[in-house]
Amino acid sequence: MSDPDIDDLKRRMNGAIEVLKSEFGGLRTGRASPALLEPIAVDAYGSKMPMNQVGTISAPDARLLSVQVWDKSLVSSVEKAIRESDLGLNPQTEGTVIRVPIPQLSEERRVEMTKIAGNYAEQARVAVRNVRRDGIESLKKAEKSGEMSQDEQHAWAEEIQELTDSMIEQIDAALKTREAEIMQV
């Protein structure tokens, strides 16, 4: 057997970290960030669409988000989607522009956000471990079929474990950074 595709495993593990970072972008920290509204789905044209596909999201200052809705008929749908999201935001409509003031987070809400961030990080860790498991299972199959010696299998398994450990360290570092941002007053 040729060597296992470590690059593919690394790509898949990095994918889990990218998903984590996009989920972290949707968590409120007290500063206005367009990433906060991007995951919100809007009822538009008979289906659910991401916010960034129905308007332009911008942050004119640290405490305000602005959504310039492209289609006038979708303004009320966008406003409703923002209001019904779990972000605790109260949008104000001015024509086709929706202004979303970002209120200060209470201490209780900050703690709740850090717990959500921890859940996202755990999901990313599980995804990385699943990729590791797939890689090690393919090594065991190769050894069983005689395509690889037991020593080779153990050496590759160690390399996959080292890759997994480094990815989990990245996840933990990202979580620690995000928790600090959330708790910052």
pLDDT per position as a tens digit, 124-143: 999 999 999 999 999 999 88
pLDDT per position as a tens digit, 30-39: 677 787 788 7
pLDDT per position as a tens digit, 15-34: 999 989 888 876 766 677 78
Task: Give the pLDDT confidence score for residue 30 in this predicted structure.
Answer: 64
The β-bridge partners of 50 are 41
Task: Give the pLDDT confidence score for residue 1 in this predicted structure.
Answer: 45
Ramachandran sector of residue 142 (left: φ over 0; alpha: ψ -120 to 50; beta: rest): alpha
State how far the alpha carbon of 57 is from the alpha carbons of 28, 154, 168, 184, in Å: 15, 50, 32, 24
The CATH number assigned to the domain with range 6-24+106-183 reads 1.10.132.20
Cα separation, 89 vs 92, in Å, equals 10
Is pTM beyond 0.75 here? no
List, for the chain, all residue ranges whose pLDDT scores fall below the cut of 70: 1-3, 26, 28-30, 185
The β-bridge partners of 128 are none
What are 45's two structure tokens? 């044209």
Residue boundaries of the structural domains of the chain:
6-24+106-183, 31-101
State how far the alpha carbon of 110 is from the alpha carbons of 68, 105, 143, in Å: 29, 6, 50
Task: Give the pLDDT confidence score for residue 5 in this predicted structure.
Answer: 81
The CATH number assigned to the domain with range 31-101 reads 3.30.1360.40
The β-bridge partners of 99 are 66, 92
